[in-house]
Chain A
Amino acid sequence: MNKTNENELVKLQDVWKIFSMGNTEVQALRGINLSIHQGEILSIMGPSGSGKSTCMNMIGCLDRPTKGNVIINGRNTATMNENELAAFRNKTVGFVFQQYFLLPNLSVLENVMLPLRYQRIPIEERRERAEEALVRIGLADRLTHKPNELSGGQRQRVAIARATVTKPALILADEPTGALDSETGHSVLDLFQEINAEGTTIVIVTHDQEIGRTAPRMVRIKDGLLSED
């Protein structure tokens, strides 16, 4: 079967993603091969519209490929049902979306508590852990605010807190420094490094050369095709 390496967390094998709308087709990914190893920091770089976010959705099992295989922990996701994929997203992955995707009606604290809720963790523990994650990222004084009362950078940090609160094995961050000034951007990168030092695998999607280069390993996507340096 598939040749898998023990420390391969996620493996994309000839992954295609084709969006079809009516009679037009967009080939967002055109046969991607990529292995993500446990404990590494990987940056995915590429121009706008090249397929970075689509690729990230594949890695995080938010979307299924049109063609090809996604293998997580040695299992082909094609054989997994919706519940298993939801559990994988819940326990193993932490998404930091490009548009943050915070729930506007929930407070900052409630947003961060949410992924733990789907792990059926009691509310007291959820609150404790969410507070901890927010303190760590410097938002201790914004717990009861609603997302629309925060600046772009603060929202991004809430999104990061929400992705890290479950202590996932893999963090997928889509343009995590996009809305930040370079100083705050660097502190976010420092935070990722810190988390990585605890063993978490981190994938950072960016179009910023400088940030891409800070990662030990970097891949490039262009027109749905991936190349590794």
Chain B
Amino acid sequence: MIEDIVNAMQSFLTNKTRSILSLLGVVIGVAAVIMVTAIGESASADVKSTISQSGLDMVNILGGNMRKIRALQFDETTRREILENVPNVKNVFYKNQISGNVKRGNIEGSASISAIEIDFMEESKLELDYGRYFDETDNELGSQCAVIGQEIATSYFPDGDVLGKKLTVTIKKARFSLEIIGVLLPSTSIFESSDSTIYVTRGFYKRRIKPNPIADSVVIQATSNKTSVAVEKAIKAFAEKKTGESDTLFIMSMQTMLENYEKTTSTLNLLLSGVAAISLLVGGIGIMNIMIVSVTERKREIGIRKALGASQKDIRNQFLVESAMLSLIGGTIGILVGTLLSFAVVKVLGWKFSLPVNAAAVSFVFSAFVGIFFGLSPAIKAAKLDPVVALASE
């Protein structure tokens, strides 16, 4: 067997250019498979970690349709109803979002102002870079203080000194001077674009802007990751019962989102596997083509081997080993090329690279299979040649 492989290699070396060209199809096919899986896996690992970081226990009620959300009246009464009627709810966080003008010195712009409840930041994993979160007192008194995102911090405080400094914010013609008490780390959540947001307490919002506000978006925290899907369903039912309409809310738990994502990626993977299979098929046809040429060109050699006593099986195996080796070499090069390219792509996109071990193993085995499968018919043709006819050919 080792000898067969060595001989196959020798025969490639006598025809270097042609052998390399014939591998090209398999190289490209396998490289495509590796790239697709490696990049796909890294991307999905990235998305998953983002979703997980947003807190898998969170159920978001998005303000898709304002009229419908208003119909639900997310006020203190509704909050009590939710807490009493919907099982597995740990917290109900109300939010109000407004936009305002921001000014500091000669830097001016607009930003989204988010009025939140004090535990919301910690629970939805909005991490502090420095400073502190809101506390009870800030909320009770409606203090003029704010926690800001990274982008706000860098645009309005280019010198870096932020804590204790003030931002002038104009909301609905009322002007406030907000003291910065904390700065958040860059956002990792998909629902909170915290980087460009100025957070104030809902206490501040109630006292200074709108008494008895109705929340325009709600985040409900389930008692655990596992109960979040149940909470999502229960909230939907709750909303339907209350408004008498179905599909009142666009609600999604992070858990459902993760599951949906996994579903789409598995469909996508199936599609990509199809593409990979087709490219390997094309590669296999390339190999078959080259083996047919090889058999035709080497008729004399086949005749000599038969005269020396090679059986049909000997000849067939010789050519099968050659085509399998060709395909395996192509597969190996494809794995290397695919790994290098996907590594480069993943690094450029700033994701974490994970070696596509499974895809590499499958491609390796599959390319051997492709070589044997597509080499079979030329090899059998070689084995069946009549020795005298084969010897007589040039």
Question: Does B141 count as interface, using CB distance less than 8 angstroms?
Answer: no
On whether A63 and B387 interact (CB within 8 A), knowing A105-B11, A105-B14, the answer reads yes
On whether A90 and B387 interact (CB within 8 A), knowing A101-B304, A105-B11, A123-B3, the answer reads no
Question: Does A222 count as interface, using CB distance less than 8 angstroms?
Answer: no
Chain A interface residue count: which class?
20 to 34
Per-residue B-contact encoding for A152-191, CB less than 8 Å = 1, 0 else: 0000000000100010000000000000000000000000
Min Cβ gap A31→B in Å is 20
Question: Does A211 count as interface, using CB distance less than 8 angstroms?
Answer: no
Closest 8 CB pairs of A and B: A90-B309, A86-B311, A115-B308, A118-B309, A63-B388, A89-B309, A101-B304, A118-B310
Min Cβ gap B192→A in Å is 69
Min Cβ gap B4→A in Å is 10
Q: Are B10 and A82 in contact (CB under 8 A)?
A: no
Q: Are A101 and B391 in contact (CB under 8 A)?
A: yes
Q: What residues of chain B lie closer than 8 Å to A140, measured between beta carbons?
A: none
26 A-B pairs in the complex with CB atoms less than 8 angstroms apart: A57-B388, A60-B307, A62-B307, A62-B387, A62-B391, A82-B311, A82-B312, A83-B311, A83-B312, A83-B313, A86-B306, A86-B312, A87-B309, A89-B306, A89-B307, A89-B308, A89-B309, A97-B307, A101-B300, A103-B301, A103-B304, A105-B11, A117-B3, A118-B308, A118-B314, A166-B309
Closest to A91 in B: B309
Min Cβ gap A59→B in Å is 13
Q: Are B309 and A86 in contact (CB under 8 A)?
A: yes
Q: What residues of chain A lie closer than 8 Å to B381, measured between beta carbons?
A: none
Q: Are A95 and B3 in contact (CB under 8 A)?
A: no
Interface centre among B3, B10, B11, B306 (most CB of A within 10 A): B306
Interface centre among B10, B11, B305 (most CB of A within 10 A): B305
Closest to B308 in A: A115
Closest to B10 in A: A105
Which residues of B are interface residues toward A (Cβ below 8 A)? 3, 10-11, 14, 300-301, 303-314, 386-388, 391
Among B10, B308, B391, which residue has its beta carbon within 8 angstroms of that of A114? B308
Q: How far is the CA of A97 from the CA of B300 in the complex (A)?
A: 13
- From 63 to 92 in chain A, residues with beta carbon under 8 angstroms from any chain B beta carbon are 63, 82-83, 86-87, 89-91
Q: A90-B309, A105-B11, A115-B309 are in contact. List 16 more A-B contacts (CB 8 A).
A: A62-B306, A63-B386, A63-B387, A63-B388, A86-B306, A86-B309, A86-B314, A89-B306, A91-B309, A101-B307, A101-B391, A103-B304, A115-B308, A118-B305, A118-B309, A119-B309
Q: Are A162 and B308 in contact (CB under 8 A)?
A: yes
Q: What residues of chain A lie closer than 8 Å to B306, measured between beta carbons?
A: 62, 86, 89
Q: How far is the CA of A114 from the CA of B7 in the complex (A)?
A: 12
Min Cβ gap A216→B in Å is 27
Q: How far is the CA of A62 from the CA of B304 in the complex (A)?
A: 10
Q: What residues of chain A lie closer than 8 Å to B312, measured between beta carbons?
A: 82-83, 86
Among A82, A83, A95, A105, which residue has its beta carbon within 8 angstroms of that of B308? A95
Min Cβ gap A119→B in Å is 7
Interface centre among B300, B309, B313, B314 (most CB of A within 10 A): B309
Closest to A84 in B: B311
Q: How far is the CA of A82 from the CA of B11 in the complex (A)?
A: 26
On whether A90 and B308 interact (CB within 8 A), knowing A103-B301, A105-B10, A118-B314, the answer reads yes
Q: What residues of chain B lie closer than 8 Å to A63, measured between beta carbons?
A: 386-388
Closest to B11 in A: A105
Per-residue B-contact encoding for A131-153, CB less than 8 Å = 1, 0 else: 00000000000000000000000
Q: What residues of chain B lie closer than 8 Å to A101, measured between beta carbons?
A: 300, 303-304, 307, 391
Q: How far is the CA of A90 from the CA of B300 in the complex (A)?
A: 18
Q: How far is the CA of A119 from the CA of B314 in the complex (A)?
A: 11
Q: What residues of chain A lie closer than 8 Å to B388, measured between beta carbons?
A: 57, 62-63
Q: How far is the CA of A89 from the CA of B3 in the complex (A)?
A: 22
Q: What residues of chain B lie closer than 8 Å to A87, measured between beta carbons?
A: 309, 311
Q: What residues of chain B lie closer than 8 Å to A97, measured between beta carbons?
A: 307, 391
Q: How far is the CA of A117 from the CA of B300 in the complex (A)?
A: 19
Min Cβ gap B314→A in Å is 6
Q: Are A114 and B14 in contact (CB under 8 A)?
A: no
Q: How far is the CA of A78 from the CA of B313 in the complex (A)?
A: 21
Closest to B15 in A: A105
Min Cβ gap B207→A in Å is 93
Q: Are B311 and A114 in contact (CB under 8 A)?
A: no
